[in-house]
Every structure is written in structure tokens, then in C-alpha cells.
Structure 1
Amino acid sequence: MTTTLRHLCAAMTATLLHIHVAHAAMSDNVIRIGVLNDRSGAYADLGGEGSVVAAKMAAEEFGNSIGGAPVEIVSADHQNKPDIGLGIVRRWFDTEKVDAVADISNSGVGFAVTALAKERNKIVLNASASSDFTGKACTRTSFQWVYTSYTNGYGLARALTAQKLDSWFLITVDYSFGHAFAADMRRAVENGGGKVIGEVRHPLNTADFSSVLLQAQASGAKVIALANAGADMTNSVKQAAEFGITRGQALVAPTVFLTDVDAMGLAAAQNLQFVTAYYWDRDAESRAWGNKFFEKTGRMPTMTQAGVYSAVRHYLRAVQAANSDDGLAVAAKIRELPVADSFARGTVRTDGQFVHDMYLARVKTPAASSRRWDYYDIVATIPAEQAFRPLGEGGCELVSQ
């Protein structure tokens, strides 16, 4: 064998060995990400199929492959039921070899999923809101990406209470999402010297809020706060307008999505203020990605859908950096690598919280909007260090380790 031929054979052997090692680092030679969310209920518009599209857009940036291992996106509907969501994810982990779960957008389902993922050392990229995900429920492999009950509940209540809007009535969806928001708003109001004078809880997917709203109106509270989201929030706002509540009391909806405003219409939603993590028309970069999303879906993205794109993109960067889809190895890289994309820029803390700027937004009047989806004015930027709960206050056991 000539020297040239020996060198050629050696090079080919090294290349094949490199490919083999790269593949061997990926379990079953495939990187699978499961998008789990509501596909048919109150939260379907804010996440749903749009989140699946967003996840696929992230995978496409890597050519749907890392180190020769294909990236696959699968999806399922948890129907906002923890037992159904848990059953889906158990099957994903145990038989379908899913490596990471993204979105969720239901805190009740989220707690069940993160507990199972902790046992399996699997990654969770959570768009659910409860601050407990990075507090008492934190794990090494779970991450909270978009917003929290602290950023959108505590922060908004703190600002309004400081403006002497110091008596509150809470209308709360009766599961962990609503409980978390109500608790954070209550704490902010009381810390600011105000008082919560009443609270009513309602089931998820409530259609008629008339009795609840009339009770809130009769309380005389300066602020009626809606600790709910999706169709529940939009129904509440529209019915409050019908009762004339907004003429005498401030109506606050801390969790507002672009699709909510589209469903309510600007006439009902105008001047509503809230905190958001993302708006498609905020800057050139968000606008470019938003337009790509629109080309695929016919709709502009919500903050959850943009956040799912960001989380999946960062996960794939971490897999690439670790040369592995092992949960603990990837989790370490997720925390190590900075995040910079069209959704946000920031860092991932020890407790699993992606910390980034948030924005105080106000819904435009019909006259100020030039077209469909032109709905927000960004009033102010809330710096990351102010927007999110301080690291030491959440009670995450990882912080003290």
C-alpha cells in the first residue's frame, strides 16, 4: 500500500469514527422534542399549533440535524388535564425516546411533567407561568422561558398600587396558574400598603362571568384583576365592558396575548395595560422573525410561540455544544450558554429561569392601529434584573448547593 493510500484510508477511518462517536452521543441517533400544549381549549390560540410551527422553525435553523442525528418535532394535546399530559409524556419518554418537552402552557400539567422529567433526567422547556417552577419545584433539567406570575402579576400589581390603586378584587381561574398569579398580586398589593378586599375563583373554560363580575363591581374595589388567561380572560374583558365596569373601576389582565386582543377587538381592549415578554413589531429582529412566522401560519406570533422558538433553538445549541442529548449534560450547557435571538437576550440562572427584559405594553385604540396585528404600544422596558424574582427568594434547592 502506498503512503498516499495509507493516508487516505486513515483519514476515512478517522472520519467514520468521528461520525460514529457523534451518533453514539445521541440516544437512538435521533434528537426528539415533544411540543405539549392545549390544542383545542382556552389556550389553543396562544400556543397550540403555532408553538409546533415555532419549534420546527428553530430546528430548521440547524438543518433539522445535529452531528448527523436528525431533529424530530412531535406534538400532542394535553387538554389542560395533568393526568392526560403526564400519560403522554410518560409514553414519550419510555417508548418514543423523546429527549425534551417544550411549551406546556398549563401550570398544573407543568408540575406533573417536570416531576416525571426529573426522574428520567429529561429536559423541560416550560412556557407555563407559575413562579414555583423556579422555586420549590425547580429541578436540574427544567427551565422556565417566557414569563412568570411574578413578572406579570407581582410587577403589574406593584406598579398600580404605587399609583394609589390600592384596593383590589381578584377573579381567579381555579387551578395552579390562577392561584400563583393571585398569590403574587396579593403579595405585591399588600407590600405596597394596599388591600385585597375579595376574591372569587372560577373553573377553567368558563363562558358566563356575569355573576362574578357583578360581585367584583359591588365590592367597590378600585382594581378588578383577572388572574386567568386565554378565552377566560377575553370573555371576562368583553363582559366587563358590556356591564360598564371599565367606566368606574380599573380592569387589569396581567396575562394578555396578541391573540387575545385579536379576539376581543380593539374597541373592547383599547388602553389595557399589561406586561409582555415579546411583541412582533418591537424592533427589526422581532419583526423579521414575526413575518417569517406569519408566512407559515397567517398569524403573527404570541409571546409563547416566540418563546418556544427561542427555547428549542437554545436547547439545540446546547445539544450541539455538549455533543450529546443526555439531559444533565445538556442542562449544564443551557445554563452556560448566553441566549441571543429574536425573542430575547439574557442568561439562564441556576434555578432554571431564563432572565430577560420584559415590556410594559398598552393596547392601541382603533384609530391608532394601521392594520390587523398592529395592536401594542411598548410603553417601557423593564430590565431583566427588575422583572424577575431575585434568585435567592424563590426557595429553589439548587441555589444553595
Structure 2
Amino acid sequence: MPRKAPLLLLAATALLSTAAFAQAPTSVKIGVLNDQSGVYADFGGKWSLEAARLAVEEMKPQLGDMKVEIVSADHQNKPDIASTIARQWFDVDGVDMITELTTSSVALAVQDIARDKKKINMVVGAATARLTGDACSPTGFHWAFDTRALAVGTGAEVVKDGGDTWFFLTADYAFGHQLEKDTTEIVVQSGGKVLGSVRHPLNTADFSSFLLQAQASRAKIVGLANAGLDTNNAIKQAAEFGLVQSGQRLAGMLVTLAEVHGLGLKAAQGLVLTEGFYWDRDDRSRAFAKRFFDRTGRMPNMIHAGTYSTVMTYLKAVKAAGSKDAETVAKTIRDTPVDDDFAKGKVLANGRFVHDMYLFQVKAPAESKAPWDYYKLLRTIPGDKAFFTVEESGCKRAS
């Protein structure tokens, strides 16, 4: 009997090892869901898809035999379309994680579905801080930026520079409302006043009536609580109305390299903005940007670099956990510091990735020395100053 015990122990160990091996994932499917044809097509769009593919290619040597498939779809900035796609992906197509999720109303809807179905979602292109606040999820993450970080960066700096009266031009959906709210709080805390606001439909072509109201307010700062082509169109039409020439200033609350490139330096020069990534910030960002440029012909903004980071982070977590179980992977993500070509930082219990943000000013044409040389750094905003703590966020369901 004593001689059989070791044999039984060896057999049991072998069975356990075999079971553990059998449970290790052999394939992973990731969905990139965003706006690929509308107002945010350059903001994220097909370029985010390319960033996700680049991440998979660069992770392959670490994944062994694990097969990774990327699928993508255009949600057209409509929560109902996004929800239908997400359910199809999770229930029928075997998608394990959805990322990018430009447009806050879309991201909130998909995060609810992912939570109910015990799947991972990693938001990059949506801004609302509610994603890690009252709408937080144990399996949901928010990566590149949020409305709080934009407000702390651009809002506080503009007031500090004398822009102490504001009027908001706000996109009329969850993102715009939250960005206006968060920036208002920062402006008031910094000693400024908000004189009013007006809301415009998403993807509007005519800003004339909204700009007239902004002009009539006589606020020193017209805060553009919108993004993508809406921001570009508002800036172009503001120039036609002579807002800046009459003494008012524009503050783009969510402007990225993609929008500056679309506007050109002549139109965008002098804009103060906040991003979580700039391609020319250091050697590491330049090396990543070159790899991205070689496959796309353009430099990445924080949405593209952030999508690269979410895919890398997710795949590393699946490998480390030896599982695709959403709660197991989510815990691994929260427990593991992030250090990649997008940013360094930590993931809080509510899913908020905390990393440094950067306040930039757009260069004048004469200051730019090469293509895509658009920004000068004004200051670095430490992550713990830019983002809410878990306690401040209002998240009650993170764990």
C-alpha cells in the first residue's frame, strides 16, 4: 500500500496537469467596434483596427500556438446598432473582448451587455467618466482618456491663462453632456464662470446659429465640448464668423492629432488641447509611431495608440491567467502594471487606467519643422491628478 501511494499521487498530478492544459485557451477573438464611416472615422476608425492588428502581430512570439482573430464593425454612432453587433459577437461569433468603442452612448450600452454576459470590454475612444463611475463594471475598462482628464488639462490651464468666462458648444449626447459638466466644475474651481451653453446634434453641418449664441454671450472662451468632424467644422465656421478676430478664444476640449491634421496648422495654430499620447514625445513613442506609419501612412493619435495598448494588455492577461474567463482576466489586468508603447501606469479597481496626460499647444506653421510636427508640450499632468480615484468616481460595482 505505501508503494502505491506515490503512484496514485503521480497519476492525480498528471490528471490535474492535463486538465489545466486543456483549459488553457487555444484561440482568442477580439472585436474592434467603432465609427468607420462617420464623424469619428479619422479619430479612430480603420486606423484603430490597424493598431489592433499591429498589436496582435507583435504579440505572436509570446503567445505560442494561441490563435488570435480580429473582427471589426462600424456602429455608425448608434447605440442600438452597436448593441445588436455586440450581442451577435458575444452570443454567436465567440468574441471574447470588444475594444475601441468610440462614442460614449455606444460604450455605455456595450459595457452593460458585456457585464451581463460576463465578457471583457476595453473602451478607448469614448470619453464619459461614467464608464468607471456610476456605470462601472467588474469586467469593463476605460483606457486612453476621459472627460475628467480633459477638463483638468485644458479647462484648468485656460482659466489660469486668463480665460475666466466660458460658453460651451456641446454635442447633444452623453459624451458632450459629461464633458461640459466636468469642465464646468474645473472652471468654477479654478475661479472662472460659465455664462451659458448650447447643444448641437451629432454630425451637424451648420454651426451658424450656435456660434451666434456663443458670440452674443461675450464669453472670453468658447469651449468646444465635441469631437471629430464636429470640432473641425465648428473651428472652421468660427473663423468665418470672426469669433477669434473679435477677441474670443476657442478651447477644443477633445482634439487629437487626427483633427489637427485635418484642419491644418494655419487653422489650428494656438489651440490648447490635452492628449494621452504624442508620437514625438520620446524615443519609445517615435519607434511605435514609425511602425504604425509604415503600415498606415499617418501618425497615431491617443485613440490608435490606446487601442494597440488594450489589445496588448488583454492578450498578456489571457496568457498570464491561462484562461479567457472574463472575471479571471479582469483581475489579472487590474493586478498588473501597464508599461507599453502607449503609456505606463496602473489599473484601478473600477477599471480606470491611470497614466500621465499631456497639455499641448498646436504650433504655428512657421514652428513646424517636419510633417506631423504639430505640438509643443506645455506641461505633463500626473495621472493621479488627471483622473478620479475610485472613491471620487462613484463606482459601486467594481468588485
Are the equivalent residues in 2 in contact too, given 1:155–1:188 (CA < 8 A)? no
Residue 215 of structure 1 is aligned with which of 210, 213, 216?
A: 213
Is 2:161 aligned against 1:152? no
Per-residue deviation, residues 71-114 of structure 1 (Å, max 9, x unmatched): 11110000000000000000000000100001011100001100
What's the counterpart of residue 108 of structure 2?
111
Amino acid at match of 1:111: L
* More divergent stretch after superposition (66-75 vs 310-319): 66-75
Q: In structure 2, do the counterparts of structure 1 residues 364 and 162 end up closer, same or farther at CA, with 3 Å as the change threshold?
A: closer
Please report the RMSD computed on the Cα atoms of aligned residues, expressed in angstroms: 1.9
Q: Deviations over 1:176-222 (max 9, x none)?
A: 01011011111112223322111110111111112211210111001
Query: Which range moved further: 160-169 or 311-320?
Result: 160-169
CA shift for structure 1 position 242: 2.1
**How far apart are 1:64 and its partner, in Å?**
7.6
| Worse-matched range after superposition: 206-215 or 38-47 | 206-215
Q: 1:206 corresponds to which letter in structure 2?
A: T
1:224 has 2:196 as partner: no
Query: Normalised by the size of structure 1, how large is the TM-score?
Result: 0.92
1:366: which partner in 2?
Answer: 365
Q: Deviations over 1:254-286 (max 9, x none)?
A: 111111011111001001111110011111000
1:280-295 matches, within 5 Å, as 280-295=279-294
Q: Which whole-Å CA distance do the structure 2 matches of 1:243 and 1:229 have between them?
A: 20
Deviates more, 1:339-348 or 1:363-372: 363-372
Are 2:121 and 1:124 aligned? Answer: yes
5 Å matches for 1:47-66? 47-63=44-60, 66=63
Provide the rounded CA distance (Å) in 1 between the counterparts of 2:22 and 2:59: 16
Contact 2:153–2:273 (CA<8 Å) still a contact in 1? no
| Contact 2:152/2:386 (<8 A) preserved | no
Cα offset for 1:19?
8.0
8 A contact 1:19–1:68 mirrored in 2: no
Match of 1:189 in 2: 187
Please give the secondary structure, in 2, of the residue aligned with 1:171.
Answer: strand
Distance, in Å, in 2 between the alignment partners of 1:87 and 1:18 is 39
Q: Tell me which amino acid in the other structure corresponds to 1:355.
A: V
Q: Kindly indicate whether residue 81 of structure 2 is the aligned counterpart of residue 84 of structure 1.
A: yes
Q: State the distance in 1 between where 2:389 and 2:318 align.
A: 28
How many angstroms does 1:154 deviate by? 3.9
Q: SS of the counterpart of 2:48?
A: helix
Residues 22 and 256 of structure 1, relative CA distance in 2, 3 Å threshold:
farther
Task: List gaps (5 residues or longer) in structure 2.
Answer: 1-9
> What amino acid does structure 2 have at the position aligned with 1:232?
D
What is the CA–CA distance in structure 2 between the aligned matches of 1:228 and 1:23, rounded to whole Å?
48
The alignment of Structure 1 onto Structure 2 pairs a total of residues equal to 386
Q: Percent identical across equivalent pairs?
A: 49
Q: Is the 1:64–1:70 Cα contact (8 Å) retained in structure 2?
A: no
SS in 2 for 1:393: helix
Structure 1: tracts of 5 or more residues without a match: 1-9
Query: 1:69 Cα shift?
Result: 2.5
Q: Aligned residue for 1:5?
A: none
Cα deviation, 1:367-391, whole Å, max 9, x if unaligned, reads: 1112321111112111111111233
| Kept after mapping to 1: 8 A contact 2:153/2:358 | no
Which runs of structure 2 are paired with 1:2-401 in the superposition (5 Å)? 21-26=20-25, 29-63=26-60, 66=63, 68-127=65-124, 128-247=126-245, 248-398=247-397
Q: What is the rounded CA distance, in whole Å, between the counterparts of 2:208 and 2:254 in structure 1? A: 21
Q: Is 1:22–1:67's contact at 8 Å kept on the other side of the alignment?
A: no
Aligned to 1:3: none
**In the alignment, is the contact (CA less than 8 A) between 1:51 and 1:304 conserved in 2?**
yes
Task: Give 1:130 deviation, angstroms.
Answer: 0.3
Q: Deviations over 1:144-190 (max 9, x none)?
A: 00000000024322232233422110000000010110111111122
**Do the aligned residues in 1 keep the contact of 2:23 with 2:322 (CA within 8 Å)?**
no
What CA deviation, in whole Å up to 9, does each residue of 1:6-33 have, x standing for no partner?
A: xxxx9xxx7x99687445332xx42000
Q: Give me the whole-angstrom Cα distance separating, in 2, the residues matched to 1:381 and 1:163.
A: 16
TM-score (norm 2): 0.93
